[in-house]
Amino acid sequence: METMRIFIAVPLPDSLLKKLSALQQKLERQSPHRSVRWVRPEGVHLTLKFLGDTPTEKLPEIKRALAAVARNTPACTFTVEGLGCFPRPSRPRVIWVGVQEPTGRLAALQDAIEEVLTPLGYEPEGRGFTPHLTLGRVRRKASRSDAAQVGEIVTSTTVELLAEEPADRFALIRSVLKPTGAEYTTLEEFPLRGGNDL
């Protein structure tokens, strides 16, 4: 049975990816050598749902479900600002830039995607939806003191408003893991209702 590693995300414009890349470079210069594995700019997505290895024969029903969500969900605008790390600065694992969308439409979109995919065998995320853009992951072999230093750098770095972007569509994306890093292919895009009016 052929499978594809897939996820659902809001695509980001090159202008924002360039700003995120500049921020990564700044943080990398300050961080202990090789303590963080930085995400390549083209690999930064506003992820809504990770599906993982999925049989290719399930793709048509997944696409049908997502198309129905897109038809019934209004577009919105989100801002990108702030810097943080999961789970906490003293033991950081993931370094992220924050995403804010005050109307709740982005969260409602993610909820709707969870709802239509549950009958297809995809369990809803246990933790609540915290929209963010992952910049890097602290390497497992980084020492505790190096990791703590990365956390201090993150908490002492202020990231003002980087962008205000429309979430007027989302995409089903294939990820192929390679030694050089993951490669991404958009399988299909789903325009949201009223997306062209933003």
Q: Summarize pLDDT for 87-119 with one digit per residue, the tens.
A: 999 999 999 999 999 999 999 999 999 999 999
Domain at 172, CATH number: 3.90.1140.10
Nearest to 23 by CA among 155, 158, 148: 158
Dihedral angle sign, alpha carbons of residues 197, 99, 94, 111: negative
Domain interval for residue 63: 3-197
DSSP string, 70-124: HHHSB-EEEEEEEEEEES-TTS--EEEEEEE-TTSHHHHHHHHHHHHHGGGT-PP
Partners of 171 in the β-ladder? 9, 189
pTM over 0.95: no
- Which residues, listed in sequence order, are joined to residue 97 by a DSSP beta bridge? 83, 133
Token couple for 186:
């958009």
* Residues belonging to the active site: 45, 132
- pLDDT, tens digit (0-9, with 9 covering 90-100), for 22-79: 999 999 999 999 999 999 988 899 999 999 999 999 999 999 999 999 999 999 999 9
Of 66, 73, 70, which Cα lies nearest the Cα of 108? Answer: 73
d(CA 79, CA 40): 21
Percent of the chain with pLDDT over 70: 97
Confidence of residue 179 (pLDDT cuts 50, 70, 90): confident
Judged by DSSP in three states, 39 sits in coil
Number of domains in the chain: 1
Side by side, which strands form the sheet with 94-100? 36-38, 132-138, 94-100, 76-86, 163-167
For residue 179, say if its preceding peptide bond is cis, omega within 30 degrees of 0: no
